[in-house]
Amino acid sequence: MDGQAIKAVLGKTIKALRTRRDFTQAVLAEKADISIIFLSSIERGTKYPKPDTLARIAGALDVEVFELFKGDLAPSDSKAMISQLSKDITQKIHLAVAEIFKRYLG
């Protein structure tokens, strides 16, 4: 799945979760402390939020961040994508920890 496809899935999922909760874009934008214009861009798949913004949107929708990426994918596709995201995050954490140890412990 390429970056544009991920943006599209994220946007559709956020919009679906927002409408299920009967939130307008204005309500969700206020709860997540972002502009309506930016939220609209995210929902259309033209912009991608930073991790802290993703966390605020997920919190406002009362879901975990990973749930924003589920979309309409088949369960096996969703599991594969979540598994790959998890591997990527774990690898970055390991690299960051190794860098910290290297910096402070020589």
Confidence check: pLDDT of 81 > 60:
yes
Tokens of 55: 């966390």
pLDDT in tens, 21-47: 999 999 999 999 999 999 999 999 999
Backbone φ, ψ for residue 71 (5° rounding): 55, -150
- Which pLDDT score, from 0 to 100, does residue 1 have? 64
What's the mean pLDDT in 9-21?
93
pTM (2 d.p.): 0.66
Extents of the domains making up the chain: 1-70, 73-106
- If one compares 77 and 103, the residue with the highest pLDDT of the two is 103
Confidence check: pLDDT of 72 > 70:
no
Confidence check: pLDDT of 82 > 50:
yes
Tokens of 104: 């402070």
Q: What is d(CA 81, CA 79) in angstroms, rounded to the nearest whole number?
A: 5
The superfamily (CATH) of domain 1-70 is lambda repressor-like DNA-binding domains (1.10.260.40)
Confidence check: pLDDT of 3 > 70:
yes
